[in-house]
Amino acid sequence: MNITLRQLSYLVALAEERHFGRAAQRVHVTQPALSTQIRELEDRLGAPLIDRSDREFRLTPAGRDVLEGAQRIMQEVEKIETQARWQEGLSGRLKLGIIPTVAPYLLPVALPKLRMRDVTLDLRLTEAKTERVLDAMADGALDAAVVAIPAGMPGLIERPLFKDRFLLAASRPFVETIVARGERPEPATLNPNALLLLDEGHCLADQALEVCGTRRDATRVDLRASSLPTLCGMVAAGFGQTLLPEISLAKECAAAPDMDVMTFAEGQPHRTIGLVRRDLGGPDAWFTELGDILTQAGQELLGHDAAA
């Protein structure tokens, strides 16, 4: 019996998950089926790959050597599969990741455009924080992702889609008072004790702090929200201020009528929303097509929003 790609993929999954049950779930087989394939691989190679003398998962020295080769082989197989799949451009199945501070605003505009282009496109969406999206893409679980760039991950091709300005959001009475004085806010003068942020792991919070030149530990930690709608509700109720991305204005201002926004005096701080994929070589017409559609959707969305 020859070594199979299935056996090598099971070994890679087992080594990464360090648990037979989780590895089986990851490759969509039962645990006994995975164990049988690993045993057959060991029999074919004539050496144990898993140290079964301890309850803690360990590879044997032979197992570590085989794993290195298996990972290289599976990476090459993935490249071949990816190149073949995208020969005809943006078609078939597309696994796209997108961060939560973009997804609810961009997708309602972008999805009809994707559907209009090809009604047969099988789109699989994953909404998650940046770190999780990038990890999934590195594992091959996603073809591309919409994140704020630069993503800070090596081996990526990044395409800018549009600039998303930050605006100061506060309660309507607060904004009316500032406007009546003829003033415009400046990021560096914002009070960190009044600045509300999304919770840990949201890149938008880190971007907001960078704009204001503020450390996270200098802000109040008891009013962090897990989503922009929650954050806007707190701002509308007068609990503080936040930096709101421009693409969210129409939706969030409609949902929180007691909240208002102001543009900054100068500089117009922003983040760049981009489309990223791994640099695997091969045809990239699909990536260009997808980027064009998302750029058009972003421009339409920003064109409909207006700041006070």
DSSP 244-263: EEGGGHHHHHHH-TTEEEE-
CA–CA distance, 31 with 36 (Å, rounded to integer): 9
Residue 87: predicted pLDDT: 61
Residue 241: predicted pLDDT: 87
CA–CA distance, 229 with 237 (Å, rounded to integer): 12
Residue 89: predicted pLDDT: 62
Task: Write out residues in the chain with pLDDT < 50, as ranges.
Answer: 218-222, 304-308
Q: Which fold has domain 92-308?
A: D-Maltodextrin-Binding Protein; domain 2 (3.40.190)
What's the half-sphere exposure (Cβ side, CA atoms, 13 Å) at 49?
28
Residue 307: predicted pLDDT: 37
DSSP class per residue in 89-146: SS-SEEEEEE-TTTHHHHHHHHHHHHHHH-TT-EEEEEE--HHHHHHHHHTTS-SEEE
The tokens of 107 are what?
A: 């997708």
Residue 306: predicted pLDDT: 38
pTM for the predicted model, two decimal places: 0.70
**CATH for 5-85, options being 1.10.10.60, 3.40.50.2300, 2.60.40.1120, 1.10.10.10:** 1.10.10.10
* Residue from 230, 231, 236, 223 nearest 173 by CA: 236
Using the structure block, give the residue that is written with the tokens 């339409």. 300
In angstroms, the Cα distances linking 264 to 42, 205, 212, 237 are 64, 18, 11, 22
Question: What are the helix (H) ranges across 18-60?
Answer: 20-26, 31-45
Q: What angle do CA 19, 25, 30 make, to 5 degrees?
A: 95
Q: Provide the sign of the torsion angle of the four alpha carbons 83, 88, 93, 95, taken in this order.
A: positive
Q: DSSP label at 241?
A: B
The answer to whether residues 42 and 48 touch, using CB atoms and an 8 Å cutoff, is yes
CA–CA distance, 164 with 248 (Å, rounded to integer): 9
Please report, for the chain, the start and end positions of each structural domain, with discontinuous segments joined by +: 5-85, 92-308
Q: pLDDT digit string (tens) for 179-216?
A: 888 877 777 777 777 888 887 666 777 777 777 666 55
Helix (H) or strand (E) holding 158: strand 156-171
What's the half-sphere exposure (Cβ side, CA atoms, 13 Å) at 235?
31
The tokens of 292 are what?
A: 């064009």
